[in-house]
Amino acid sequence: MKIAVLPGDGIGTEIVAEALKVLQALDLSLELEHALVGGAAYEAHGHPLPDSTLRLAQAADAVLFGAVGDWKYDRLERSLRPEQAILGLRKHLKLFANLRPAICYQQLVAASSLKPELIAGLDILIIRELTGDIYFGQPRGRRVATDGHFPGAEEAFDTMRYSKPEIERIAHVAFQAARKRQKKVTSVDKANVLETFQFWRDVLTEVHQQYPDVELEHMYVDNAAMQLVRAPKKFDVIVTGNLFGDILSDEAAMLTGSIGMLPSASLNARNQGLFEPSHGSAPDIAGQGVANPLATILSAAMMLRFSLNQPAAAQRIEAAVQAVLAQGLRTADIFSPGSTRVGTREMGDAVVKALRAS
Ligand code: NAD
Q: Which helix (H) or strand (E) holds 255?
A: helix 242-255
Q: Alpha-carbon Rg of the chain, whole angstroms? A: 21
CATH for 97-266, options being 3.40.50.261, 2.60.40.2550, 3.30.1120.10, 3.40.718.10: 3.40.718.10
Q: Please state, in angstroms and rounded to a whole number, the distance separating the CA atoms of residues 326 and 333.
A: 16
Active site (catalytic) residues = 135, 190, 222, 246, 250
Are the folds of 1-96+268-358 and 97-266 the same? yes
Q: What is the residue-wise DSSP string for 61-79?
A: SEEEEEE---GGGTTS-GG
Could you tell me which residues are beta bridge partners of residue 188? Answer: 219, 240
- Crossing angle of the two packed helices 344-357 and 311-326, in degrees rounded to 10: 120
Sketch the domain layout of the chain as residue ranges: 1-96+268-358, 97-266
Torsion sign (Cα): 238, 264, 250, 81: negative
**Which superfamily does 1-96+268-358 belong to?**
Isopropylmalate Dehydrogenase (3.40.718.10)
For residue range 119-174, list pLDDT tens digits in order. 998 999 999 999 999 988 999 999 999 999 999 999 999 999 999 999 999 999 99
pLDDT in the model for residue 50: 98
What is the average pLDDT value for the chain, to the nearest integer? 95
Reference 65, options 105, 106, 24, 36; nearest CA is: 36
* Confidence bin at 254 (pLDDT 50/70/90): confident
Q: Is the pLDDT of residue 258 over 80?
A: no
Q: Is the pLDDT of residue 253 over 90?
A: no
Could you tell me which residues are beta bridge partners of residue 208? Answer: none
Nearest CA to ligand 1 atom 22: 260
Centre of ligand 1 from the C-alpha of residue 260, in Å: 9
* Confidence bin at 285 (pLDDT 50/70/90): very high
pLDDT in the model for residue 106: 85
333 Cα nearest atom in ligand 1: 20
Q: Please state, in angstroms and rounded to a whole number, the distance separating the CA atoms of residues 118 and 232.
A: 7
pLDDT in the model for residue 260: 87
Ligand 1, residues at Cβ distance < 6 Å: 11, 15, 67-70, 83, 86, 259-260, 276, 279-285, 291-292, 295, 333
pLDDT in the model for residue 226: 97
70 Cα nearest atom in ligand 1: 32
